[in-house]
């Protein structure tokens, strides 16, 4: 499969993270045919560990695309890592500041340019004790409705076994397995002509995250809970 060119810093990141993630965990994926080989796409994912972006980036890149992530702007200040993610043209999120809308504007521009944008609508790793998605922010609905690109739900499981932030546990041994399942694009045509208000954005956000939750239930081979763990809504 021909790969999308990402430039020098994407090459550097790939050279480091592809072997590093393989060393720490076996990687399995299904539904990769749902990621378009060209053109813009919005991939909507759950968030259970700070290692998620690394594994998700490798997964998307391995299948021919260069992902653009919305990530906390503080990462740009981390030595070495900040240089890499800036060079790879990732999208900083300035939450709670005057620049808060800048990240969404950058994500809109990326989709308009035919790039793949990866978003974690929960905004942070889930606080659900069992790892199910929390109630999510509505920025994902704005992106999804404003662009005529595939909106693709996906779920990944296994990274929290490797690094659990809330319990402060990093357990690379025995070697873990990280599984990713990509769903079919969600048809949002019924929502695009409706009046754009908070109720609509909430409905679309919950629709997308329900798709993600159902994919996660398939990976875990257990029923998903009703609704979402309490989290901040906007």
Is residue 234's pLDDT more than 60? no
Is residue 100's pLDDT more than 90? no
Burial pattern 157-166, b for ≥16 Cβ within 10 A else e, equals bbbbbbbbee
Quick one: pLDDT at residue 97?
A: 56
Query: pLDDT class for 99, splitting at 50, 70, 90?
Result: low
d(CA 22, CA 102): 34
Quick one: pLDDT at residue 64?
A: 92
pLDDT in tens, 192-212: 999 999 999 999 999 999 999
Is residue 84's pLDDT more than 50? yes
Mean pLDDT, the chain, integer: 90
Domains and CATH numbers, the chain: 8-31+39-220 (3.40.1130.10)
- Which contiguous run of DSSP H or E holds residue 92? strand 91-93
What would the mean pLDDT of 114-136 be, rounded to a whole number?
Answer: 95
Q: Cβ-count burial of 76 within 10 angstroms (0-12 exposed, 13-18 middle, 19+ buried)? A: middle
Name 117's bridge partners: 42, 68
What would the mean pLDDT of 50-77 be, rounded to a whole number?
Answer: 88
d(CA 88, CA 41): 18
d(CA 50, CA 212): 18
Contacts (Cβ under 8 Å, ≥6 apart) of 134:
122, 126, 127, 128, 228, 229, 230, 231
99 in helix, strand or coil?
coil
Quick one: pLDDT at residue 233?
A: 46
Is residue 13's pLDDT more than 80? yes
pLDDT in tens, 44-60: 999 999 999 899 999 99
């Amino acid at each position: 499969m021909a790969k999308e060119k990402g430039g020098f810093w994407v090459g550097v990141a790939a050279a480091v993270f592809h072997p590093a993630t393989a060393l720490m965990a076996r990687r399995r994926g299904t539904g990769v045919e749902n990621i378009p080989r060209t053109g813009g796409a919005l991939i909507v994912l759950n968030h259970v560990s700070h290692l998620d972006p690394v594994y998700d980036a490798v997964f998307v890149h391995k299948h021919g695309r260069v992902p653009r992530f919305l990530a906390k702007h503080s990462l740009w200040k981390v030595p070495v890592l900040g240089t890499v993610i800036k060079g790879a043209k990732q999208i900083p999120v300035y939450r709670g500041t005057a620049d808060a809308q800048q990240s969404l504007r950058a994500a809109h521009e990326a989709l308009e340019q035919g790039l793949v944008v990866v978003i974690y609508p929960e905004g942070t790793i889930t606080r659900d004790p069992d790892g199910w998605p929390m109630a999510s922010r509505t920025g994902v609905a704005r992106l999804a409705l404003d662009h005529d690109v595939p909106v693709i739900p996906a779920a990944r499981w296994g990274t929290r076994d490797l690094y659990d932030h809330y319990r402060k546990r990093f357990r690379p041994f025995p070697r873990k397995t990280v599984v990713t399942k990509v769903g079919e694009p969600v048809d949002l045509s019924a929502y695009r002509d409706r009046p754009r208000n908070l109720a609509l954005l909430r409905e679309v956000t919950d629709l997308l995250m329900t798709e993600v939750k159902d994919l996660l239930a398939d990976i875990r081979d257990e029923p998903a809970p009703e609704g979402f763990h309490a989290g901040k809504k906007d």
